[in-house]
Amino acid sequence: MRRAAQPFAAAYVTLDEGPTLLTNIVDCDFDKLSIGGRVSVVFVPVDEEGAVVPMFAPD
């Protein structure tokens, strides 16, 4: 079974267009995260074949 690297921050991110995604917050200091903060999409590679997953990083 594939597991995420730890530690990680799972979050619900609501896009400006309306949909809400369950995703991970990456590239940040977890102690400085806050609810309602703006984020930007980051496409993270997940395998050798080039598949990517959208995750988010604080602005």
Q: What is the pLDDT of residues 7-24, one digit of tens each?
A: 889 999 999 999 999 999
CA torsion sign for 22, 36, 52, 17 is positive
The two structure tokens encoding residue 33: 């995260």
Which pTM value belongs to this model? Answer: 0.80
Quote the CA–CA distance of 33 and 9 in Å, as a whole number: 9
Tokens representing residue 47 in the block = 């395998």
Calpha distance 30→37 (Å, rounded):
12
Give the position of tokens 């991970």: 24
Query: What percentage of residues in the chain have a pLDDT greater than 70?
Result: 95
